[in-house]
Amino acid sequence: MSARTKARKRAIDVLYGADLRERAIADAVVEEQRRAEQQPARAASWRYAREIIEGVDDHRAALDEAIATHAHGWSIERMPVLDRAILRVGAWEILHNDDVPDAVAISEAVQLATELSTDDSGSFVNGVLSAIARER
């Protein structure tokens, strides 16, 4: 697994946990920063994970609007918490990180949705993120 893939998974874990517990993302970042400092093996993925998490937090309203626009029949609130975190990460990479090609952001998000979420999540994530990329 590449360092960026690990960072994406870690960002999803933090975003998922904060959303599930209805916690401020800033608090979750502080907690994860402590973990990174105590576990040097985890430090390598932390820098990009933190960039993703803070980017999602900074642009959350716009990301949620883009996701909701292309998630036909699904409001943000109705989506599974894990799918919502994956979509936010993928949408942030597409819309706010020019270093990551859209196809890579979509592929990584679909792979994580397939591995971590429901049977239908991979195709759902693919459809939503592909539409966001096309509109961009």
CA pair distance 114, 119, nearest whole angstrom = 7
- pLDDT for 132 beyond 90: yes
Give me the pLDDT at residue 35, please: 84
Give me the pLDDT at residue 97, please: 97
Give me the pLDDT at residue 6, please: 93
Q: What pLDDT, in 10s, does the model give residues 17-70?
A: 999 999 999 999 999 888 888 887 777 788 999 999 999 999 999 999 999 999
pTM: 0.94
CA pair distance 9, 132, nearest whole angstrom = 21
- Residues 88 and 64: beta-carbon distance below 8 Å: yes
CATH code given to domain 3-135: 1.10.940.10
- Residues 112 and 86: beta-carbon distance below 8 Å: yes
The angle formed by the CA atoms of residues 76, 58 and 99, to the nearest 5 degrees, is 100
Give me the pLDDT at residue 73, please: 86
Give me the pLDDT at residue 11, please: 97
Domain spans of the chain? Answer: 3-135
Please give the DSSP secondary-structure letter assigned to residue 71.
S
The token duo for 28 is: 């979750």
Beta carbons within 10 angstroms of residue 75's beta carbon: 10
Q: What pLDDT, in 10s, does the model give residues 80-124?
A: 999 999 999 999 999 999 999 999 999 999 999 999 999 999 999
Beta carbons within 10 angstroms of residue 108's beta carbon: 21
